[in-house]
Each structure stands twice: as structure tokens, then as C-alpha cells.
Amino acid sequence: MIFERFPRTGIPDAFESLVEYEEYLKLLVATGCIDNAKKIWWDIRLHPFFNTIEFRICDAQSRVDDTIALAALMQAIVVKLHKLRAQNVTFRNYPRRLIDENRWRAARYGLDGKLIDFGRKCEMHERDLLDEMLEFILPEVDEPGTHAELAHIERIMREGAGADRQLAVWKRAGDLKAVVDHIIAETYAGLHMAKTKAA
């Protein structure tokens, strides 16, 4: 949310084609706004140098298992959407202003909040919507072979995300150092790395 003070952040507008996106980039470069596509910091973007989609919205996980699970989730979503597009299935294109509402709610309330289901035009518990998403992508998980990694998403839904754990430490200890120590411990957990003391 703090990063949004910069331009070209948050949810991108929808582009009708790759050509339209490339024309947008050319305009920004030609007018001195940016010198290359790396200066586009949207939550999701085409990677400027690799033929991939880059998800940037949740790149601050403290547990490696959470990071791997989120990567598997995003991979499965892309596989599913690619297959549907290949079958000429179209999608609703919701305006950025609506998506931003849910983005703000997710940041503010986390997994315990409610998001707007734009199709149903009502609020729904975030965990219920995540269950629907997991059901939507389940047929595609065989292709990348990420059943175990995606199962960890259910653990996150059950136990809470990193922010939930950090808030719990803060409420218990009332000390920022304890929160930092918790983040460090989670980051090292399962990595089998030797900790080194700063000089």
C-alpha cells in the first residue's frame, strides 16, 4: 500500500492485446517516463526479459513453504486460464476500480475478511472464495504436479498467513523485537542453513 505512492503500481488496466501493451511501453519510453519495462511495478506484469508472467502482489512471505504454495497456486491459475482461452472461453473483465476494492479488503482484513463476489454482487468470506478457486484449478494441478504444494494453501487458510502470525506475536509480547525474531525464525525454518551472527 505504501508502494502505491509511486506510478505504475497496483492493479494494471486490462489490455486488449500484447500489441496494445507494447505500444503503451513505447509511449512511456519515448516520453521519458521510463527507460525500460522493469519500471512497471504492477501487482502482475509480463516479465520484461523472460517469457513469463510475474506475480508481484505477495512477495514478502516469511515461510518458504508459503512461498512455494503461492507459486503453485499462481502457476495452476495460469494453466487453467490458458486452457480455457485455448478453448475460446471468454472471461468477464471487471474494472480496475472494482478489483481495487477487493485488493484493499484483502490487505486490511486478511483471510478473516470478506471480498466482493462481483458476479453474485454480494460479500463472501475470503476462505469460501479461496475454496472455490482451489476447486476451479484442481483439474489443472496434475500437469505441473503440484498437489502437495497446493495442499499447503489449505494449511495457510487454516492457520492464517504470515501477517496473522506476526500480529499474534505482537499481541502476546507487545515487542517489535519479538516480531522480528519470529520472522527470522520462520525464514530459517526448514532451510537447513547455519545461522551466522553479525560482526
Confidence of residue 104 (pLDDT cuts 50, 70, 90): very high
Higher pLDDT, 25 or 196: 25
pLDDT digits (tens, 9 = 90+) for 5-46: 889 999 999 898 999 999 999 999 999 999 999 999 999 999
Question: Which own/partner pairs from 95-104 qualify as long-range (CB within 8 Å, at least 24 positions apart)?
Answer: 96/11, 96/12, 96/13, 96/14, 99/11, 100/10, 100/11, 103/10, 103/11, 103/43, 103/57
Average pLDDT of every residue of the chain: 90
The pTM of this model reads 0.85
